[in-house]
Amino acid sequence: MPSPFPSSTSNPGTGIIKLALRPPDQPVFEVLSFSYPVKLVVSAHHNLHRSSSIEASATTPLRPSSVPLLFLLTYGGGLVSGDQIHLSISLDPKTRLTIATQGSTKIFKPSLPVGGSNPVQPPPLTRQDLCVCIAANAALWLGPDPCQPFASSRYAQAQIFEVDIEGGGSLGLVDWVSEGRSARGERWEFEGWTGKNEIWDVSSSANGKSGKGKNEKGAILVLRDNLILSAPGIASRVDSLGIFGTIILIGPLFLPLANFFIDEFKALPRIGARDWNAHKTLIAADTPSGTLLTDKERQEHWRKQRQGREKKDGVLWTAANVRGAVVVKFGASEVEGAKVWLREMLREEGTLDKEFGSGALMCVK
């Protein structure tokens, strides 16, 4: 008996998101489709008020009335060996979007022993591809929880971002991977993990330029960041780190946060340098004398406390300007230590909470 339901035209593992702005300033999803094993769920919007630090003017982008929070989910909380995920996201001018997950993305190991009857054969490759188009004055914060590859798993991801940089498009993302199921004694025991992040400038001026680094659309490559972890011996190459990742920030909306990371990195103690102020103590705001800290003293006090926790949690990090973007590399002994460090940095600076809402910080809770 033929099925009374029409056949599906979508491919498995495909998700399509198109965010537009309905006059005067209401964001709407013109397209929001997905197929197993991907699930896209829209949560509460973060309302933007006139008191926001980014005001409409001749030099700053007009803002939408709110920022949607979109959860990228998978059935069972992870990807089964051999899953293929393809996501396409398009942000129209002046829109903003936050993408988060509800926990670490688990990369499950094969159901059969690696290689089966043929020990040379590698496990099936689990793959996730993301293509994002960010128009003028649009902004995206991509803040998933850390990826957690299980022992014997094999995973690859490619995230391609086409940004109208000249038009004020903005992108912020965190991309991190942990050692696996540490509670079960796993320590970098997966077969392989590769990640690629690319940012392409699709502004009109980029299309008019000639030279190397252009794709078939005429866009110019701004940044390419690759991470390749291949067995055997991954644990011996990462020293004592249990997690490490990358933060990429580009565009006017993330400029304050990018500058904050650069400034804090410059303030880190250098090897061999002596701290001439080590003998000094700051007066706390709740001291009996009631003496209040100045903004500069309060920031220095916070910095000293944060650096002490970084040492305790084994946090290592660096930041650099790369062709208009700021790239931060970080690692920690455990996932919780990395989350505490990143949470303190993002909350102290404040851009994400003000411009994207508390949902943007879910990855560090």
pLDDT in tens, 85-95: 999 999 999 99
**Mean pLDDT computed over 351-358:** 95
The answer for 28, left when phi > 0, alpha when psi is -120 to 50, beta otherwise, is beta
Q: How confident is the model at residue 278 (pLDDT cuts 50, 70, 90)?
A: very low
Q: CB neighbours (10 Å) of residue 123?
A: 22
**Mean pLDDT computed over 100-120:** 76
Task: Compare 77 and 8 and report the one with higher pLDDT.
Answer: 77
Q: How confident is the model at residue 59 (pLDDT cuts 50, 70, 90)?
A: very low
**Mean pLDDT computed over 301-328:** 96
> Does the pLDDT value for residue 149 go beyond 80?
yes
> Does the pLDDT value for residue 284 go beyond 50?
no
pLDDT in tens, 292-310: 778 889 999 999 999 999 9
The pLDDT of residue 287 is 42
Looking up tokens 């919780």 gives 336
Whole-angstrom distance, CA of residue 307 vs CA of residue 239:
21
pLDDT in tens, 259-268: 999 999 999 9
Quote the mean pLDDT of the chain. 87
Q: How confident is the model at residue 216 (pLDDT cuts 50, 70, 90)?
A: confident
Bond before 24 cis per omega within 30 degrees: yes
Q: How confident is the model at residue 138 (pLDDT cuts 50, 70, 90)?
A: very high
pLDDT in tens, 36-49: 999 999 998 999 87
